[in-house]
Amino acid sequence: MKILVAIKQVAARDSQFVAGAGGKWIEEDGLEYEINEPDAYALEEALQLREAHGGEVVVMCAGPERAGSALREALAKGADRAIHIEVEAPEEWDTLSMARLLAAAARGEGPDLVLTGLQSDDLGAGQTGVVMAELLGMPHGTIVMQVEIGEGVLRVKRELEDGLYQYVGMPMPAVLTIQSGIKKLRYATLMGIKKAKTKEVKVVGAGDLGVELRPAYEVLGVNPPPRLKQTQMVGGVGELVEKLKNEARVL
């Protein structure tokens, strides 16, 4: 069984973000990067499925040269090989463009299962896995909490609202977006880090995959959220109640 895991490299959560010189993306100099946390759970699920059913785990990532470090980390944790789709221009990384790149790379692999995280920590659209499934013509399940594999079929547990769950059966191959927190993430061991240096990392470009990047939208600018602090003095309880009811709308 071949499991393909799509990961994304994002800036560390505790980074200090400022708008770049062009005003269309963040200033990347000096930032530290890491594997998108939801994607780390997708990788962990893939590794555990391989341990239970055999096969190989192939991890892929679309990003600039620095994204290679995220792939090496995934290899150190146990992935068998990696595909690096090297692209620049982060301000043009809309969902459709990324999904087209990842889907094109997936077609060349012929996977039995494609896993992604539920959403990315930077943009948070939560759509890449679903769009990939549509482009690949595969069934998909979202917000997946548990995966059971049978003879060419899947049974997945999905999280719904208000503590409810849904169990869905679907044929393979399929695309699943994995919910964060479903398993305990493993750390890369020293032996794993050493082995990662010898594992295959295939580097391809958009042209190699036959994909012409045409962003579906244009980023006009990025700005930090405004910090608004204002103190109002009220004359009594009646005025306070009125403001809470009509302005703050909490009553």
CA distance 115 to 176: 5
What's the pLDDT tens digit per position in 206-229? 888 988 877 777 778 887 777 777
Domains of the chain: 2-246 (3.40.50.620)
The torsion defined by the Cα of 68, 128, 56 and 51, in degrees rounded to 10, comes to 110
Cα 237 to chain centroid, rounded:
49
Residue 9 reports pLDDT greater than 60: yes
What's the pLDDT tens digit per position in 105-145? 999 999 999 999 998 888 778 889 999 999 999 999 999 99
Q: Which two tokens stand for residue 141?
A: 């399940």
DSSP state of 173: S
pTM: 0.83
